[in-house]
Structure 1
Amino acid sequence: MRSLTGSGLPKPAQPRWAAREAARYVVDNWRVLAPRVASGEAESVFDEVRNAPFQQRTPAAGRGMDIHRLAVALLFHGDDDQIPEELYAYVVACADFLDDWGVRPLLAEVHVGSRTHRYAGTLGMVARLSNQEMALVTYETGSDVWPESALRAAAYRYSDFYVNDAGAEIPMSTLGISAAYGVHIRADGYAVHPLEAGEETFQRFLDVSAVARSARTLADLVHAPVLPDHWSNHAANPPERFSGEEGPWEL
């Protein structure tokens, strides 16, 4: 599912972000990089700078459910022995969220799918909150909660089924989900963002998915070069201007 939203949704800010982070990396490290360029390592330095934006991630990036599991152990069992030092502040923030919002998890990290629309994914959590909402919760541990989170939440919500512990497919509609939240977990706390995850957002997810799937075959729209039909008799002996030092033109 992430591949669909990732490929089908324009990200106009991403090139600017990547350029900014690459420039920052050069400014911060020029004393080390400049001698390497002068000594003939220009290509290596180029690759390092080009990839720098994607290496500057927080320790928690992409580990939302790991943090959730550790937070549950900390909140309900007082167990902090298994928490890596670099994640401790994030786990505490997550535990605060669970406690403050009275989160009672019903499902966590379950596979969902839609045969109708041909997609599948793994949702983060469905939980009952203290206000009695049955909510779909997605953790975000990067720089913010982005629109893709709402698209994915709608896709999870309107999936045909989820797979329970016994391997059975259970209709998603039986869960009675009425709300969705993106929870931004940071080292200094958390922020809960309500997500629009209704039918209109689901249709937008389907639109984005259609673009992503279409993009995979765009290269098929351009065919190999051809010659005019009346040149077919030159197939064995192409016209002179299509021969040369590079050899005959491939027909």
Structure 2
Amino acid sequence: MTTPKLHTISRGGSRFYVNPETGEKAPGVTSILGMLPKPFLQHWAAKTVAEYATDNLGELVGLRLRGERQGVIDFLKGAPRRSTASAAETGSAVHDLFERVAKGEPVGRVHPEYRVFLDHFDEFLKEFEPEFVFLEETVWSESLDYAGSFDAYAVIDGERVFLDWKTTRSGVHPEVALQLAAYRFADYIIRPDGSRVPQPSSTGGGVLHVRPEGWGFFPVRADAETFEYFKVLRRVFDWERTVKETVVGKPINKRPGSLPARRTAAPRKVAA
């Protein structure tokens, strides 16, 4: 997981980037991608709970015999969250190591759990010899109102590409093309002090997927056509955040027995 160098805030489960110069807020690329349907998550969550129950059966039975029914429920409900948190912690640590190595900085002692990731990254560097131009920067789009932090922009075999490091067990998913297209077609790179760097020209994107058992480098079609699909998700994000709560009005029939009015919340807006 890339850690943004710009200040971000969380609102309603979505991340917003804060422009250090103007204070304006823009939704993050990954939050916009959250508008995609993810039916596989339901199966993953059920599998995670089942695995946790199987691996911790004795502890759960002990809790239940002591009358702590709610404790058992809470343990099982939290299994997917704990799994995600653990994966995110590993991803953040590995991303930090990759950035430091790419910059030529010493990494010092490396936790044994992360050593194998770093060994694979070294293999990638030796095989592809990327020339890193930008690392862990943030792009901003004023025209479409979004921002996002990319892992790297590099020249590989003459191609100028935006790169993303992935450490997820499930592999490389198609939506990474939307993510990289959003980075590629943003308006400019913005620094923590508010200064802007012209958006670099690019020819595509790529993903380095690293797991303890191995690694792979995948080219990604992050072209203008792909970007059009991201733009649709950007509109859907606005629908979910602000528009949908405004489209159904109060009932106009006041006769006895009328159906109760749907409770309509005020549109959610990010404070300026």
The answer as to 2:172 corresponding to 1:142 is no
Contact 1:113 1:120 survives alignment (8 Å): yes
- Once the two structures are superposed, residues 145-190 of structure 1 have per-residue CA deviations (whole angstroms, 9 ceiling, x without a partner) of 2223211100000001112587432331xx2211210111111221
Instruction: Give the distance between the partners of 2:56 and 2:247, measured in 1 at CA.
Output: 44
Instruction: Give the distance between the partners of 1:187 and 1:13, measured in 2 at CA.
Output: 24
For the structure 1 residues 47 and 99, does the alpha-carbon distance in structure 2 shift closer, same or farther, using more than 3 Å as the test?
Answer: same
For the structure 1 residues 48 and 221, does the alpha-carbon distance in structure 2 shift closer, same or farther, using more than 3 Å as the test?
Answer: farther
- Once the two structures are superposed, residues 182-232 of structure 1 have per-residue CA deviations (whole angstroms, 9 ceiling, x without a partner) of 1111112211111110011101111112112211233444456x5734x6x
Deviation at 1:128, TM superposition (A): 1.1
Which ranges of structure 1 fall in alignment gaps of 5 or more residues?
A: 232-238, 243-251
- Once the two structures are superposed, residues 48-107 of structure 1 have per-residue CA deviations (whole angstroms, 9 ceiling, x without a partner) of 21121232244622445313134337xx57x45232222111111112112211011100
Instruction: Give the distance between the partners of 2:146 and 2:56, measured in 1 at CA.
Output: 43
Contact 1:4 1:213 survives alignment (8 Å): no
The answer as to 2:203 corresponding to 1:205 is no
Which ranges of structure 2 fall in alignment gaps of 5 or more residues?
A: 1-28, 259-272
Give the AA of the match of 2:203. Answer: S
4+ long deviations beyond 6 Å: none
Contact 2:94 2:114 survives alignment (8 Å): no
Contact 2:181 2:222 survives alignment (8 Å): yes
The answer as to 2:103 corresponding to 1:65 is no
Instruction: Give the distance between the partners of 1:142 and 1:99, measured in 2 at CA.
Output: 23
Instruction: Give the distance between the partners of 1:29 and 1:166, measured in 2 at CA.
Output: 49
Give the AA of the match of 2:222. Answer: A
Instruction: Give the distance between the partners of 2:67 and 2:112, measured in 1 at CA.
Output: 39
2:4 alignment partner in structure 1: none
Q: Which deviates further from its counterpart, 175-184 or 214-223?
A: 214-223
The answer as to 2:225 corresponding to 1:170 is no
Percent sequence identity over aligned pairs = 26
Contact 2:165 2:208 survives alignment (8 Å): yes
Contact 2:137 2:151 survives alignment (8 Å): yes
Relative to the length of structure 1, the TM-score reads 0.80
1:133 alignment partner in structure 2: 159
Contact 1:111 1:120 survives alignment (8 Å): yes
The answer as to 2:51 corresponding to 1:24 is yes
1:34 alignment partner in structure 2: 61
Of Structure 1 and Structure 2, which has the larger fraction of its residues in strand? 2
SS at structure 1 position matched to 2:90 = coil
Of Structure 1 and Structure 2, which has the larger fraction of its residues in helix? 1
Relative to the length of structure 2, the TM-score reads 0.75
For the structure 1 residues 4 and 165, does the alpha-carbon distance in structure 2 shift closer, same or farther, using more than 3 Å as the test?
Answer: closer
Instruction: Give the distance between the partners of 2:95 and 2:120, measured in 1 at CA.
Output: 13
Instruction: Give the distance between the partners of 2:232 and 2:143, measured in 1 at CA.
Output: 14
How many pairs align?
225
1:3 alignment partner in structure 2: 31
Larger Rg: 1
RMSD: 2.4
SS at structure 2 position matched to 1:81 = coil
Deviation at 1:9, TM superposition (A): 0.5
Instruction: Give the distance between the partners of 2:100 and 2:66, measured in 1 at CA.
Output: 47
Q: Choose from 67, 83, 90 the match for 2:117.
A: 90
